[in-house]
Homo-oligomer: A and B are copies of this chain.
Amino acid sequence: MGRAHSNGYNRITNFFPELEYTPVLKAVCSRNAVKVQAFADQWGFESIETDWKALVARDEIDAIDICTPNDTHAEIALAAAAAGKMILCEKPLARTLEEGQIMVDAIDKAGECGVPLKTTVWYNYRRMPAVTLAKQIVDSGKLGKIYHYRANFLQDWTISADLPQGGEGLWRMDVDAAGSGVTGDLLAHCIDTAMWLNGAITDVSAVTETFIKERMHQLTGKVQPVGIDDACIFHCHFANGSLGLFESTRYARGHKALYTFEINGADASIRWDLHDLNRLEYFDHRDDSIVRGWRSIHVTDGDQPYMNKWWIPGCGIGYEHSFVHQVADFLKSLETGGDCSPTFKEALQTQKVCAAVIDSANSRSWKDTNVDSDFV
């Protein structure tokens, strides 16, 4: 993810020259000095660090971007908050709800004695133009009363039993580093988008599965039990009375990163699919009945979200652009004094749902999420 974030910062001058603030890449930190220097050269960082504490200690740095494995988010965030720095954190916010709560508390505390600390969590899909357009459509009321929300995030990269767990490039397979499997990695995205578009999820009933029970651990060299969830399914209620349905897996042969969502309202419906990220599907029941159908909207026109920054109609953009948009919105929030959603506090709500999902699966029972009632 370091590449996607770095690209985000590097594109601002080119595509958002009107912004008041511009990112300056003061330093990048990683344990291997040789590798991190190469990375710094590649992405234009002025200096390197091999100890993140040194980085946080540097006075001329205003913002810390955390894109390390999940098990380090809390510690780094707490230090950064204590140092009064703005924080951009990879998703999920933390491994567990408890860790996330500590992080939010630290931000609150840091903000008590003056200006609140700026935070944002990289739930980047909100800023895919087609997804942002979905938000505009929902907010316009065009959908009418909402009945159903469904989302899935399907991958197939861990089907082989020979894939090790843990270690370089594979920490997502290690429950200690990741906190959970697809729930925190993939469903967290689905939940973030869902609550942004459709409001709070109030209770959940989930099932998880670990299809391959033991894998060799890269760090220990031993075959060990797998602690993560390979697949997770849950249904739920939203505060607005609609039903939700979510599924994620890394065992859906044929799907590389199929994040899709669909919302059905009394008057209209929308759906989106990451594999065709420049399109939004829209059905409007108010269309004349004989010519009514799902519309395939190619979201590449200048009057559609963010698209006046890019190319001509019909010419799509890619995955990384959502990160550029989030950087731009973060910088804009410095101008306007608003938030760059989701803040840590907002991302904590997603964490609550993830925790309830895991809890529900483990206990084979419905669980309340305790998402803030004034959320969204």
Which residues of A does B touch, CB under 8 Å? 3-4, 6-7, 10, 13-14, 17, 38, 41-44, 133, 136-137, 142, 147-148, 150, 154-157, 159, 205, 207, 209, 211, 231, 233-235, 237, 241, 243, 245, 247, 249, 251-258, 264-269, 274-285, 287, 289-298, 300-301, 303-304, 310-321, 364-366
A254 touches B269 (CB 8 A): yes
* Cβ-closest 3 pairs across A and B: A257-B314, A256-B314, A254-B283
For A247, give the chain B residue with the smallest CB separation: B245
Min distance, Cβ A130 to any Cβ of chain B, angstroms:
11
Q: Which residues of B contact A295 (CB under 8 A)?
A: 287, 291-296
A269-B253 in contact (CB<8A): yes
Bound form: Cα–Cα A319–B10 in Å: 18
Please tell me if the beta carbons of A13 and B44 are within 8 angstroms of each other in the complex: yes
Smallest Cβ distance from A357 to chain B, in angstroms? Answer: 12
User: Which B residues are CB-close (under 8 A) to A269?
Assistant: 252-255
For A244, the closest partner residue in chain B by CB is B233
- Closest Cβ of chain B: how far from A86's Cβ, in Å? 24
Number of copies: 4
| CB-CB under 8 A for A133 and B318, given A205-B205, A207-B205, A269-B252 | no
> Which of chain B's residues have a CB closer than 8 A to the CB of A280?
293
| Binding site secondary structure of chain A | mixed
Say yes or no: A231-B147 contact (C-beta < 8 A), given A133-B290, A247-B245, A366-B364: yes
Residues B205 and A364 in contact, CB atoms below 8 Å apart: yes
- How far does the Cβ of A229 sit from chain B's closest Cβ, in whole Å? 11
Cα A4 to Cα B157 in complex, Å, equals: 34
Chain B nearest CB: distance from A187 CB in Å? 13
Can you name the residue of chain B whose Cβ is closest to the Cβ of A304? Answer: B290
Given contacts A269-B252, A290-B133, contact A157 B313 (CB under 8 A): yes
What would 15 A/B residue contacts be, using CB atoms closer than 8 Å? A17-B38, A147-B211, A147-B253, A148-B231, A159-B266, A205-B205, A249-B264, A253-B269, A254-B268, A255-B264, A256-B314, A293-B298, A310-B319, A310-B320, A317-B319
Please name all residues of chain B whose beta carbon is closer than 8 Å to the beta carbon of A265 when the two chains form the complex: 253
Residue ID in chain B nearest A277 by CB atoms: B316
Task: Give bound CA distance, A209 to B279, whole Å.
Answer: 31
Q: Are B148 and A313 in contact (CB under 8 A)?
A: no
| CB pair A294 B254 closer than 8 Å | yes
The answer for the CA separation of A151 and B327 in the assembled complex, in Å, is: 39
CA distance A156 to B148 in the complex (A): 11
Q: Is A274 a contact of B314 with CB atoms below 8 Å?
A: yes
A295 to chain B, nearest CB (A): 4
CA distance A280 to B292 in the complex (A): 10
Q: Verify B276–A289 contact, CB threshold 8 A.
A: no
| Option from B133, B148, B278 in Cβ contact (under 8 Å) with A252 | B148
CA distance A207 to B207 in the complex (A): 13
Which of A207, A312, A321, A365 counts the most B-chain CB atoms under 10 A from its CB?
A207
In the complex the two chains form, is A291's CB within 8 Å of B297's CB?
yes
Give chain B residues whose Cβ lies under 8 Å from the Cβ of A148.
231, 249, 251-252
CA–CA, A256 and B257, complex, Å: 27
